[in-house]
Amino acid sequence: MRGASKTTYQLPIGPIHPALKEPVMFEFKVDGERIIDVDVKLGQVHRGIEWAGTRRNPIQILYLAERICGICSYCHPMSFALAVERAAGIEVPERAQYLRVIQGELERICSHVLWAGVAAHEIGFDSVLFLTWEIREKGLDLTEYLTGNRVTKGITMIGGVRRDITDDMVPKVKQALDYLKEKIDKVQHVFLNDKTIKLRCRDCGVLTKEDALKLCAVGPTARASGVKKDVRLDQGYFAYTDLDFDYVTPDIITGEVKGDVYDRVIVRLLEVKQSINLIEQCLEQMPKGDIVSEPKIPKLLATLKRVNGEGIGRMEAPRGEVFHYVRFTGTGNPYAWKVRAPTYNNILPWIPMLLDQQIADIPIVAASTDPCMSCTNRVAIISNNKRYIMNSEELHRLSIEKTRRLSI
């Protein structure tokens, strides 16, 4: 380093780019183009949900929990329902456990395909964005067919599920799954065999297994670094214990684990195939039976009023382990409610990933962990009062230029 004359720059980013969703703020120290130090400022989207939860009854909280994050809008209410069921000792019928697996895997497919489009968009491949989002539309049609709304599914109920999949709905589900299976092979071919994507993603934003374990990274980010962490397998909930599947790590295809952006692409695309397979297994093994333990809601609210205890709900969301903690003291409304989104644990791994990377790599590395609190709309580099406005459009343009430079 050339001694004390090193200056760092303040770049607050104003507008929000369409692909970047919720705002999160970084602070980097930069030596020229190379990033030397990273600091993260969160909380632009703090809506005080946990506090609002203590003032409502559990049925209302289901729909509040659904709007914590729009893309994984199934895992939050479902792990809240798990926590309440464990605190109140409510048994869930077996058919409902299978229906819950189907909804969870369907959401994982839609979320990973969405992510593939956003990641391709970050490095400048808009045609891949349109290709993947065209596939995602079929996934959303299936979600709408099964739950009644494209994004906020509203299928969760404490003690089971709100809608059943009857036998005459199964052929339509199977037909949509075949369409998805065939198209996802095409996307995987596009992503994994494209020379430019390999140039941009190989050895970029590396997270070593040691760092992933120490920083408790979760989900595909951890699995891409070789850490075998998957709540569906570690601590089987719903009906995952009856299905046969295994941890998805990049060495299935490439035979080695590097923990870089390319490995995260592999892990997510393999997981989409795994999810389709899981849904098919569920459709075959699903037993007959009722779909919710207590259909009458006033009765359910009455039983929840008498609960006095605490429960935890853990679930594997598309981005990683979602954790809910609920404490009841017999007043109907939960006394305490703690929500931990998977991105909570995937924020700190950004720091080892982004060190010694270039500024142009920030969008793709940040997008590679698929942050639900999501991509950078604020990149601020601490300056000695020299302000240099660089909006996220320029950040994105830098990223595209780098792709062009590499691919010539």
Q: Which of residues 85-144 bind other proteins (CB under 8 A)?
A: 86, 94, 97, 114, 125, 127-131, 133-134, 136-137, 140-141, 144
> Does 199 participate in binding other proteins (rule CB under 8 A)?
no
In the bound complex, what is the minimum distance in angstroms from residue 276's beta carbon to other proteins? Answer: 20
By C-beta, is 117 or 205 nearer to other proteins? 117
The span of 30-38, 251-259, 273-281, 343-351 binding other proteins (CB under 8 A) equals 343-351
By C-beta, is 32 or 289 nearer to other proteins? 289
Residues 51-80, interacting with other proteins (CB under 8 A):
51-52, 55-57, 59-64, 67-71, 73
In the bound complex, what is the minimum distance in angstroms from residue 134's beta carbon to other proteins? Answer: 5
353 contacts: CB under 8 Å, gap ≥ 6: 205, 206, 207, 365, 368, 369
By C-beta, is 172 or 273 nearer to other proteins? 172
In the bound complex, what is the minimum distance in angstroms from residue 260's beta carbon to other proteins? Answer: 20
By C-beta, is 196 or 274 nearer to other proteins? 196
- Binding residue (CB under 8 A) for other proteins from 6, 186, 306, 387: 186
The span of 215-223, 258-266, 270-278, 355-363 binding other proteins (CB under 8 A) equals 215-223
By C-beta, is 152 or 274 nearer to other proteins? 152
By C-beta, is 32 or 295 nearer to other proteins? 295
By C-beta, is 26 or 323 nearer to other proteins? 323
Residues 290-329, interacting with other proteins (CB under 8 A):
297-298, 301, 310, 312, 314, 321, 323, 325, 327
> Does 149 participate in binding other proteins (rule CB under 8 A)?
yes
> Does 234 participate in binding other proteins (rule CB under 8 A)?
yes
Over the window 265 to 294, marking each residue x when it contacts other proteins by CB under 8 A and - when it does not, the resulting string is: --------------------x-x-------
By C-beta, is 7 or 145 nearer to other proteins? 145
- Reduced 3-state DSSP string for the chain: CCHHHCCCCECCCCCCCCCCCCCEEEEEEEECCEEEEEEEECCCCCCCHHHHHCCCCHHHHHHHHCCCCCCCCCHHHHHHHHHHHHHHCCCCCHHHHHHHHHHHHHHHHHHHHHHHHHHHHHCCCHHHHHHHHHHHHHHHHHHHHHHCCCCCCCCEECCEECCCCCHHHHHHHHHHHHHHHHHHHHHHHHHHCCHHHHHHHCCCCCCCHHHHHHCCCCHHHHHCCCCCCCHHHHCCCCCHHHCCCCCCCHHHCCCCCCCCHHHHHHHHHHHHHHHHHHHHHHHHHCCCCCCECCCCHHHHHHHHHCCEEEEEEEEEECCEEEEEEEEEECCCCCCEEEEECCHHHHCCCHHHHHCCCEHHHHHHHHHHCCCCCCCEEEEEECCCCCECCCCHHHHHHHHHHHHHHHHC
In the bound complex, what is the minimum distance in angstroms from residue 237's beta carbon to other proteins? Answer: 6
In the bound complex, what is the minimum distance in angstroms from residue 202's beta carbon to other proteins? Answer: 16
300 contacts: CB under 8 Å, gap ≥ 6: 59, 158, 159, 294
Residues 9-38, interacting with other proteins (CB under 8 A):
14-19, 21-23
> Does 233 participate in binding other proteins (rule CB under 8 A)?
yes
- Binding residue (CB under 8 A) for other proteins from 206, 207, 347, 359: 347
Query: Cα 335–339–340 angle (5° rounding)?
Result: 150
